[in-house]
Structure 1
Amino acid sequence: MLFLQLLASFFLLLLPLLLSILFFTRASAHKKQSSTAVSPPRSYPIIGSFLAVVANRHRRIQWFTDILQVTPSATYVLHRSIGVRQVLTANPAVVQHILKTNFHSYAKGDYFHRTLKDLLGHGIFNVDGESWKFQRQVASHEFNTKSLRNFIETVVDTELSDRLIPILSSAAATGTVLDFQDILRRFTFDNICKIAFGFDPAYLLPTLPQAKFAQAFEDGVKISSDRLNELIPGVWKIKKLLNIGSEKRLKIAVSEVQEFAKNIIKEKKHELREKASLDSVDLLSRFLSSGHSDENFVTDIVISFILAGRDTTSAALTWYLWLLSKNPRVESEVLKEIKEKSEAPVFEEVKDMVYTHASLCECLRLYPPVATDTKEALNDDILPDGTVVRKGMRVTYIPYAMGRLERLWGSDWADFKPERWLEKDEAENRHWKFVGRDAYTYPVFQAGPRICLGKEMAFLQMKRVVAGVVRRFKVVPAVEEGAEPEFVPLLTSKMKGGMPVRIVERDEK
């Protein structure tokens, strides 16, 4: 009875807000836009800019970008309900401050950890302090040159030649429309499981098998992302307590994901027992051999690395192939480079693809796999642009917005232009030389102490896929002329509805 009274009181408290939403939403539906000019949202007592947040809930990332594009410092303090403040920034100096200069004052924090704990637990992407340091230290051994070469020459190349290319050849011959986003997720899922866990899920087979785990993982990521972006924070806790709606689905999804991860761990433990002399050649073996016997902890690690290895790289490649299809000049340059490097050994081929590397960087600028990242202030602070931050406030830097700032990329920022990353090699004028940007202007892989360990592995894998696919096939989006795909910024970004394509075999001549 007490619980029901508390629940009723909660909804009575929300009633004014709900009525405001209803009124504002209906009014907005009839209001004609008289101007395309963007201005920061109005803030009201108690509810802050809640009405503007509601009005822009379906275009949140673009709304944040619009605000930061017209804010002189590229940093804006969003007033949420009941006095809650959130800092939004696309300012490189601020990014450097929170990710490096004052790193120890900004953490994942309690809010982020609590919200994502059901899915990510105590995995590397959801913890701070000693646990994060330990996981990072063990994982770092996976990314040495020997491991990277092995990953490209055996794991990726085998998956490419034995599974991906045959599927594309068959689709080209039959005229079948494929969802390339789904294909790439299967491809990267197989790859991360092989290299990190020594396990082949065989998800990219000609039959494109349905897997309960894959759908459960999708649901888990989607619902966990929705928790972070709830209009009224904390509603998910009530739904979880009552075991209803999305929280009931999340519970089922997480159970399925954890069961999958625990089966991988069980098989690896058996393998290690059977072969006592087996070297710790993969990530999972290293963690199990490090003395950590807590199955739940290792399960969290497995889930985190699946998220990192599957979703980020596949998202980048999906947007890359779409951009390539819309920019034939760039596609021609990429194809030219692929043919020039085709005689080199596989590892050297992908390592030396300078123009292709630049075009991938350009794609990631416009469509970063992780569109936003949030830190929590552990102390009061003042940011380099003068913004005052109080302990407990969240500071969100937005790579998606940073890639769209004219002050950072010039008036042609909207163009897909790999040349902005290149300059002519002075020694040989006809060759390109890659010129990177600092990690705080381009924080696609984070920066500072938490910079992505798998950055080089991701680029090598992407370039190998591009070389293998573009050399033989033209990927043609199967959509209406002029249709633009929608960028969906979850924990990792995706293309809404997938990427339907037709595959056309290239003329070898």
Structure 2
Amino acid sequence: MLCLQLLACFFFLLLLPVLSILFLTRASAPKKQSSPPPSTTISPPRSYPVIGSFLALVANRHRRIQWLTDILQVTPSATYVLRRNIGIRQVLVANPAVVQHILKTNFHNYGKEGSNGTLQDFLGHGIFNVDGESWKFQRQVASHEFNTKSLRKFVETVVDTELSDRLIPILSSAAATGTVLDFQDILQRFAFDNICKIAFGFDPAYLLPSLPQTKFAQAFEDSVTISSDRFRSLFPFVWKIKKLLNIGSEKRLRIAISEVQEFAKNIIREKKHELSEKSSLDSVDLLSRFLGSGHSDENFVTDIVISFILAGRDTTSAALTWYLWLLSKNPHVEYEVLKEINEKSEATAFDEVKDMVYTHASLCESMRLYPPVAADTKEAVNDDVLPDGTVVRKGMLVTYVPYAMGRMETLWGSDWANFKPERWLEKDEAENKQWKFVGRDAYTYPVFQAGPRICLGKEMAFLQMKRVVAGILRRFKVVPALEEGVEPEFVPQLTSKMKGGLPVRIVER
């Protein structure tokens, strides 16, 4: 049996270059249609012996998340088994019942084994890359940072200070001079300063007027990008060979990760020194809790620091980037958001954002269309049968796709493509017909995951985003500086990005 598999693999590798060239040549040939075909013509990819749907994967490699979405949209059960090559199968999911099964009902059968090897170099044994006791421990320690008192402190001290002392002056200056800013970069800097201050008690001062370029920031970006490319690789053995030989992108990744780890270790050493100098701290942050938990392994704590930087820096900044672009395209929504902001202007910072119902709905709607994490992959520990009858074998990868789920007509109606905050709202008759938020269950809307691994920082993320939106829109109008008719491209890395950033002009209201 082993010999047959090796033989099949050998012939596959021999034929692959020829097949790929032929298919790509055909795919790039001029077409009579200048516009994309209607969605009714979309069908699941053809699968061939040995190579499966590899040719379709190659043809759609630059629009992979949209291609997977197209497939799930036309699959009646919204669960599809993709045959990749040499017998490798991957289950793609956009069915809420199946999402609930893998994230809650049969949670212990779907772990991180399928992805943690790919992310091991970057995230190590951090919370997003482990299962079992290590995951439970990290989650338990981190959970203490998300109570109401900590959230209020986060909004009224950390976020407000970064907003008033750094972000607003930069926007005022850009408005006065007509400077075009990359708002994706600005928001990443803002979020990075925030997460470092609240989680580690450290201020990297990355959002200064000079917008400094640092080795760490570039190294972190390279680490995210190259690690994401590993996931998208059609031939995982290629990056593994490059890693073994220390060449190309894998050499760059090793250098970048080394820079990121050194940055994290410096934060840890400073915190250890601070803890040794003082008998008690004025406030206890996340890093202090981990260091005080009995875990003295610097590498382990380094992995934790890097994981929380990734979560705090990239998710909220990605969500806000797409949100501000959608507001610019939908002035009636921007009007309603601004109206709510002005109505809440007398409240304290925390109470203001806590009660911003329409803005909250508009953020949910934005993340429905452009989720910060487009897809998440688990690996089956044992054989299983999904609620729709799909058979899963031990070791198979199972990927649920929030990006696709936000585009399912069966879940959101025929107007799913519209940016419509009202789909999250209803009029409250008891409260003078004020808007009342009506959420969706976490398995229909798994933007923050669901089940035991649901995001601890969900409420913190919403509070931060609403405070930023209120702080910006109350004083400025954000106008995208894109060419007429050009729409930004969604790039699904570990966290989603807007390709090339979001160039904007700032206009004083």
TM-score norm. by structure 1 comes to 0.96
8 Å Cα contact 1:280-1:289 kept in structure 2:
no
8 Å Cα contact 2:365-2:420 kept in structure 1:
yes
CA-to-aligned-CA distance 1:368-393 (integer Å, 9 cap, x gap): 00000011000100000110000000
More deviation in 426-435 or 401-410?
426-435
- Residue 315 of structure 1 corresponds to 318
Q: Secondary structure at the match of 2:379?
A: strand
When residues 11 and 203 of structure 1 are mapped into structure 2, their CA distance, relative to the original with a 3 A threshold, is farther
Structure 2 counterpart of 1:392, from 386, 392, 395: 395
Structure 2 counterpart of 1:409, from 398, 412, 425: 412
> How far has the Cα of 1:430 moved from its partner?
3.5
- Residue 257 of structure 2 corresponds to 254
Q: Which letter does structure 2 place at the counterpart of 1:60? A: R
- Residue 19 of structure 2 corresponds to 20
When residues 468 and 276 of structure 1 are mapped into structure 2, their CA distance, relative to the original with a 3 A threshold, is same
CA-to-aligned-CA distance 1:79-129 (integer Å, 9 cap, x gap): 0111000000100000000000000111111x3111100000000000000
The number of equivalent residue pairs is 497
- Residue 497 of structure 1 corresponds to 500
Q: Secondary structure at the match of 1:413?
A: coil
In 2, Cα distance between the equivalents of 1:76 and 1:107?
20
- Residue 38 of structure 1 corresponds to 42
Structure 1 counterpart of 2:438, from 428, 435, 440: 435
8 Å Cα contact 1:192-1:309 kept in structure 2:
yes
Q: Which letter does structure 1 place at the counterpart of 2:206? A: Y
8 Å Cα contact 2:12-2:51 kept in structure 1:
no
In 2, Cα distance between the equivalents of 1:58 and 1:11?
27
Structure 2 counterpart of 1:72, from 73, 76, 82: 76
Instruction: Indicate yes or no: 2:487 matched with 1:484.
Output: yes
Structure 2 counterpart of 1:131, from 130, 134, 146: 134
Structure 2 counterpart of 1:204, from 204, 207, 220: 207
Q: Which letter does structure 2 place at the counterpart of 1:245? A: G
1:58-207 → structure 2 map (5 Å cutoff): 58-109=62-113, 111-207=114-210
Instruction: Indicate yes or no: 2:419 matched with 1:420.
Output: no
Which consecutive segments of 4 or more residues in structure 1 shift more than 3 A? 10-13, 33-36
- Residue 4 of structure 2 corresponds to none
Q: Which letter does structure 2 place at the counterpart of 1:89? A: V
CA-to-aligned-CA distance 1:214-261 (integer Å, 9 cap, x gap): 110010001001111111122111000111110000000000000100
CA-to-aligned-CA distance 1:295-329 (integer Å, 9 cap, x gap): 00000000000000000000000000000111100
User: For structure 1, which runs of at least 5 residues remain unmatched after alignment?
Assistant: 1-9
Q: Secondary structure at the match of 1:206?
A: coil
CA-to-aligned-CA distance 1:319-348 (integer Å, 9 cap, x gap): 000001111000000000000000001100
Q: Secondary structure at the match of 1:252?
A: helix
1:156-305 → structure 2 map (5 Å cutoff): 156-278=159-281, 281-305=284-308
Q: Secondary structure at the match of 1:264?
A: helix
In 2, Cα distance between the equivalents of 1:398 and 1:336?
34
> How far has the Cα of 1:14 moved from its partner?
2.3
1:304-343 → structure 2 map (5 Å cutoff): 304-343=307-346
Q: Secondary structure at the match of 1:501?
A: strand
Q: Which letter does structure 1 place at the counterpart of 2:13? A: L
When residues 260 and 76 of structure 1 are mapped into structure 2, their CA distance, relative to the original with a 3 A threshold, is same
In 2, Cα distance between the equivalents of 1:43 and 1:13?
14
Q: Which letter does structure 2 place at the counterpart of 1:32? A: K
User: For structure 2, which runs of at least 5 residues remain unmatched after alignment?
Assistant: 1-8
In 2, Cα distance between the equivalents of 1:76 and 1:255?
39
- Residue 3 of structure 1 corresponds to none
In 1, Cα distance between the equivalents of 2:400 and 2:101?
11
> How far has the Cα of 1:30 moved from its partner?
1.3
> How far has the Cα of 1:31 moved from its partner?
5.5
8 Å Cα contact 1:76-1:89 kept in structure 2:
yes
Q: Which letter does structure 1 place at the counterpart of 2:259? A: E
> How far has the Cα of 1:291 moved from its partner?
0.5
8 Å Cα contact 1:190-1:204 kept in structure 2:
yes
8 Å Cα contact 1:262-1:299 kept in structure 2:
yes
> How far has the Cα of 1:13 moved from its partner?
6.3
> How far has the Cα of 1:426 moved from its partner?
1.3
In 2, Cα distance between the equivalents of 1:214 and 1:427?
50
In 1, Cα distance between the equivalents of 2:11 and 2:237?
15
8 Å Cα contact 1:280-1:286 kept in structure 2:
no
CA RMSD of aligned residues (A): 1.3
> How far has the Cα of 1:276 moved from its partner?
2.0
Q: Which letter does structure 1 place at the counterpart of 2:14? A: L
> How far has the Cα of 1:428 moved from its partner?
2.5
CA-to-aligned-CA distance 1:34-90 (integer Å, 9 cap, x gap): 644110001111111000000000000000000000000000000011100000010
8 Å Cα contact 1:486-1:495 kept in structure 2:
yes
> How far has the Cα of 1:278 moved from its partner?
2.2
In 2, Cα distance between the equivalents of 1:268 and 1:428?
48
In 2, Cα distance between the equivalents of 1:222 and 1:21?
25
In 2, Cα distance between the equivalents of 1:369 and 1:172?
28
8 Å Cα contact 1:374-1:394 kept in structure 2:
yes
CA-to-aligned-CA distance 1:396-440 (integer Å, 9 cap, x gap): 000000000001000110000000000001112331000000000
In 1, Cα distance between the equivalents of 2:16 and 2:32?
24
Q: Which letter does structure 1 place at the counterpart of 2:61? A: R
Q: Which letter does structure 1 place at the counterpart of 2:270? A: E
Q: Which letter does structure 2 place at the counterpart of 1:14? A: L
> How far has the Cα of 1:279 moved from its partner?
5.9
More deviation in 231-240 or 362-371?
231-240
Q: Secondary structure at the match of 2:86?
A: helix
